Homo-oligomer: A and B are copies of this chain.
Amino acid sequence: MVKLDFSNVLTELIGSAGIKLSEIEDHAKRAVELIRAKPYRELDFIEIYNQDLKDVKEIGKIGRDYEYFLLLGIGGSALGPKVILEALSPFHNLKKKPKVFIYDNVDPVTLKNILEIVDLKRTLVNVISKSGSTSETLSSFLILWKLIRTRRLDVKDHFVFTTDPEKGNLRAIAEEYGIRTLSIPKNIGGRYSVLTPVGLLLAETIGIPSEEILEGAKDISEKAFEEGFAKNPMAILASSLYLLDFLKGRRILVFLPYCDRLKTLSEWFSQLWAESLGKDGKGTTPYPSLGTTDQHSQLQIWMEGPEDKVILFLTVEKHGVQEEIPEEFYYLEGLRFLGGHTLEELMHTEQLATEMALCMHKKPNLKLSIGEIEPRTIGGIFQFLQVTTAMAGLLYGINPFNQPGVELGKRLTYGAMGKRGFETEADEVKRYLKKERFII
């Protein structure tokens, strides 16, 4: 269902910039051994397809009766739902209901704009935070909570929490006020959570059967533990990317889907890859991109900039719409060759031409492809990339499920905001603000 073409990282095709097939094979074998040993309980995400969808479907059905669906979440709690929305229901808010807003920041102007558009009486607010203590999400939750109560609406009718099954502030509030909740399974962290109620409630609310998304994930999951060269494309991809970094200094991974609906998948993947692998001084930097658009933006630096990139294409075989370019202005040389082709052909041709140009300049690149965009393939590509990322982490010898590097910033924020127990950090902030600055 997800195919991988890894020809263009092989020495056979791109010479000394590439890596040997045998090396990839060895590392792929090792990646499978590592994942089979299951060193982290968070690898549970691989079995996530095995999930009771009753609550998600029930609340999703309720959600469909609202005019507006407002999701509050940040990072993994927002990027996955965004992909589901934009990939499976493009231009949603101009065409369908409930209108969906995903508020994933603390920008006051954005919130004001959303609040001007939505009618709270007909709005369902989905607050997503595993820990129940994400400052950004909880801040907007508090604002919405007060607004709903001030208007004398029943909080039970306007909130759904997606959170830890037992702990945290949201769980406590839900119990006190009888708010509907959905659980994010214990061992699943934020960036691996799109196939839990985090992403699936939104799917159901906009009419996408969540079981189809999970079926696609299942197809992939079943291959994750497969040994043997030809059976486990995730192991091949993880190994190729690891080796291109380790042996060839390819430290930037450009993720390049050729399909507008997958633009946010680039952002979701970049979060997954960066936060999973960027630790202990290791990890390649994922770069979110989009074809053909970024051929007019980034291609120059891929072709002639520093030799530090790998391009990972993602193509969609059938876009599902035939839009033919008409044969007009036949007398103008610059237009004639376009007539009679379809936009889909042009899309495919430009991807191929870019791939070829990269090869001719000995730049390693790989290509993923899916047949068409539907719930099943979107579930599949999510799981494919999640498994690949986890495998890469194991090859690097790091824990792909924690994020120790974000703690310091959080503590300093707590200090500056006056949270109890963070007085040392508050002093640190004061000292920093007193330093002499160079500002012009």
Contact = CB atoms under 8 A, between A and B. Distances in A.
A4 interface: yes
B281 A298 contact: no
15 contacts: A7-B435, A76-B296, A105-B291, A107-B319, A112-B321, A134-B296, A136-B350, A139-B338, A143-B326, A275-B300, A278-B306, A299-B406, A350-B413, A352-B432, A353-B409
B138 A440 contact: no
Contacts of A326: 142-143, 145-146
Contacts of A230: 440
A13 interface: yes
A236 interface: yes
A227 interface: no
A74 B347 CA distance: 14
Given A278-B301, A278-B305, A293-B105, A143 B350 contact: no
A420 B281 contact: no
Interface in A187-213: 190
Interface stretch (A34-42, A282-290, A375-383): A282-290
A362 interface: no
Given A287-B287, A353-B416, A304 B338 contact: no
B412 A353 contact: yes
Interface string A296-321: 11111111111111000000000111
A112 B323 contact: yes
Most buried by B among A106, A294, A350, A357: A106
B7 A437 contact: yes
Interface string A20-44: 0100000000000000000000000
A403 B93 CA distance: 38
A389 interface: no
Contacts of A292: 74, 105-106, 136
A270 interface: yes
A337 B169 contact: no
A418 B345 CA distance: 12
A119 interface: no
A199 B346 CA distance: 27
Nearest to A398: B304
